[in-house]
């Protein structure tokens, strides 16, 4: 029989997991953005009286709640297309969720190891800075998995105005500060009472007001230059896509839609729209290039390829107006740089692949392209490309931007994830990139969500999922530059450095106090 203390600890663990799970409700397609603040406040409050060891466990439980619900869409691709027994697929998902949960566990353990007694310094300065560092770590280790950064959930909240200035992680920082503020003024668990609590509440409301005010600033403005674009959503079932007998029916579907939209300036097919290697269809691409040039249109399409050394690449090709005459390999192309771990490459491949067939998922043997690549020419405009998962890496996109960049395109094939919440989270991330950089983002997908996002991160036009349609609309060139496009994460790193320096100063001051008292005595 459990003792009352054991029951209390079990209840805390379940509560931490529930708070973590509630964070998923803040992201698309639910978009109940206040839940992210509730989730962080819940974790921070539970950590107020916990030991570092206990804190690590509570943080791990919080992560289990968030990632079990938030990245459940990964299992769809493993179960439907991985070709492995259910127990193996569930084991792989459990490993992924446990791994991701280590990051909030690490944050929780470290924050309660900080030798700082002042709650204001600990929870309003050091804890938010530490959360940023841990989040960045998650976005870097094993090439990174920055999905579900808290800031993404606020794309439609009053905090969205922070993104053009400090990026998505600037929003995360403000969320962490607000959560820490709420945690230390909460009755019973909080440290601040009376007038101090009232001032803290006023400070929090002031921070939200400043964030809201930033959203009213137009960092970029529209020009009178426009392009007509057509995004083709082929809606080709993933189970049929790579069957040899479906190659030409698929190609003819895209060609038929393309012929109907030769009046557009740019026509965009989704990721890997061509169900063959580029080297297998040089005549097809050459004829498509000639037809596009004749109609003064640029066609952009995803296509896989294998080089002479046997390495596979996930590419995007630009054909037609504004590009050189096609000769294999395409003279204007982009090769995906940020590959999805286990989905497109296997970390420690030589060690893991021989161990079990579960590491031999389809399409898991790609090689990365260069981190910095030229923009794709698009009928006189320059398009910065992000293939699928890459749209979640703002630093990569920023590194590829230059003064001539006109728009961002992201090609994806979310058919791997069925009717899950994954594609909607993916679209939310694309919206954040538009807001951060003040550029329109075009999202061309196989089965949704195909969309055009304006320079303010607002959905301008979309197609329904799981329908074969073409989205034809206008995009407008912008002028100006957002502070985030200019500075990147530099201000946030300065905050982290400042926070660390302040923490060291406070710690040294506190450690000297006892010796001074004893001397005076």
**Could you list the active site residues?**
271, 336, 388
SS3 state at 237: coil
SS3 state at 341: strand
DSSP H or E stretch at residue 14: helix 4-24
Contact 60, 102 (CB under 8 A): yes
Pairing of strands 312-320, 298-306: antiparallel
Contact 478, 494 (CB under 8 A): no
Question: Which residue, chain included where needed, has tokens 């060609």?
Answer: 255
Q: 487-496: b or e for each residue (b if 16 or more CB lie within 10 Å)?
A: ebbebbeebb
**How many helices, marked H, and strands, marked E, lie in the chain?**
17, 13
SS3 state at 247: helix
Compute the chain's Rg from CA coordinates.
25
Residues sharing a CB contact under 8 Å with residue 406, sequence separation 6 or more, in sequence order? 378, 381, 382, 383, 439, 477
Neighbours of 376 (CB within 10 A): 22
DSSP H or E stretch at residue 180: helix 163-185
Q: DSSP for 289-319, please give it.
A: HHHHHHTT-EEEEEEEEE-TTS-EEEEEEEE
3-state secondary structure 185-254: HCCCCCCCCHHHHHHHHHHHHHHHHHHHHHCCCCCEEEEEEEEEEEEEECCCCHHHHCCHHHHHHHHHHH
SS3 state at 80: helix
Q: Give how far Cα 262 sits from Cα of 290, 354, 417, Å.
A: 13, 49, 31
Contact 168, 151 (CB under 8 A): yes
SS3 state at 370: coil
Tally the C-alpha atoms within 13 A of residue 157's C-alpha that lie toward its C-beta: 28
SS3 state at 507: helix
Q: Which two tokens stand for residue 126?
A: 């050091």
SS3 state at 112: coil
Q: 93-126: b or e for each residue (b if 16 or more CB lie within 10 Å)?
A: beebbebbbbbbbbbbbbbbebebeebebbbbbb
Pairing of strands 407-412, 298-306: unpaired
Q: Give the integer Cα–Cα distance in Å for 114 and 504.
A: 10
């Amino acid at each position: 029989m459990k003792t009352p203390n054991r029951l209390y600890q079990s209840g805390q663990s379940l509560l931490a997991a529930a708070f973590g799970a509630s964070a998923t409700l803040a992201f698309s397609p639910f978009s109940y953005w206040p839940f992210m603040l509730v989730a962080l406040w819940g974790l921070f409050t539970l950590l107020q009286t916990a030991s570092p060891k206990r804190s690590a466990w509570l943080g791990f439980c919080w992560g289990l709640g968030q990632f079990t619900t938030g990245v459940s869409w990964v299992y769809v691709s493993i179960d439907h297309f991985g070709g492995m027994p259910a127990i193996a697929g569930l084991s792989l998902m459990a490993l992924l969720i446990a791994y991701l949960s280590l990051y909030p566990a690490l944050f929780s353990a470290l924050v309660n190891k900080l030798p700082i007694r002042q709650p204001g310094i600990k929870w309003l300065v050091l804890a938010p800075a530490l959360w940023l560092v841990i989040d960045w770590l998650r976005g870097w280790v094993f090439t990174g998995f920055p999905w579900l950064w808290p800031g993404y959930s606020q794309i439609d909240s009053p905090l969205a105005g922070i993104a053009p200035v400090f990026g998505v992680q600037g929003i995360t920082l403000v969320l962490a500060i607000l959560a820490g503020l709420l945690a230390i003024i909460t009755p019973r668990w909080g440290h601040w009472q009376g007038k101090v609590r009232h001032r803290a509440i006023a400070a929090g409301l002031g921070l939200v007001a400043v964030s809201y005010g930033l959203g009213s600033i137009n960092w970029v403005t529209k020009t009178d230059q426009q392009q007509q674009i057509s995004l083709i959503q082929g809606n080709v079932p993933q189970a049929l896509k790579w069957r040899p007998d479906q190659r030409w029916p698929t190609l003819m579907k895209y060609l038929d839609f393309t012929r109907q939209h030769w009046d557009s300036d740019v026509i965009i097919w989704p990721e890997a729209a061509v169900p063959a290697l580029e080297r297998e269809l040089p005549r097809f691409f050459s004829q498509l290039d000639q037809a596009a040039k004749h109609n003064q249109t640029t066609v952009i399409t995803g296509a896989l390829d294998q080089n002479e050394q046997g390495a596979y690449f996930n590419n995007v090709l630009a054909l037609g107006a504004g590009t050189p005459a096609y000769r294999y390999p395409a003279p204007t192309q982009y090769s995906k740089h940020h590959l999805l771990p286990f989905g497109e490459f296997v970390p420690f491949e030589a060690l893991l692949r021989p161990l079990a067939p579960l590491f031999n998922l389809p399409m898991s043997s790609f090689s990365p392209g260069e981190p910095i690549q030229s923009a794709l020419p698009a009928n006189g405009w320059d398009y910065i490309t992000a293939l699928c998962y890459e749209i979640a890496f703002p630093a990569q996109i920023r590194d590829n931007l230059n003064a001539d960049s006109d728009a961002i395109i992201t090609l994806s094939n979310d058919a791997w994830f069925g009717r899950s919440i994954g594609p909607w989270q993916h679209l939310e991330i694309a919206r954040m990139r538009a807001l951060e950089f003040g550029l329109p983002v075009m999202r061309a997908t196989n089965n949704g969500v195909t969309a055009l996002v304006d320079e303010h991160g607002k959905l301008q036009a979309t197609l329904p999922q799981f329908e074969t349609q073409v989205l034809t609309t206008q995009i407008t060139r912008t002028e100006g530059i957002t502070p985030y496009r200019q500075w990147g994460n530099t201000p946030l790193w300065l905050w982290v450095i400042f926070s660390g320096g302040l923490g060291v100063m406070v710690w040294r001051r506190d450690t000297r106090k006892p010796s001074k008292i004893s001397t005076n005595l």
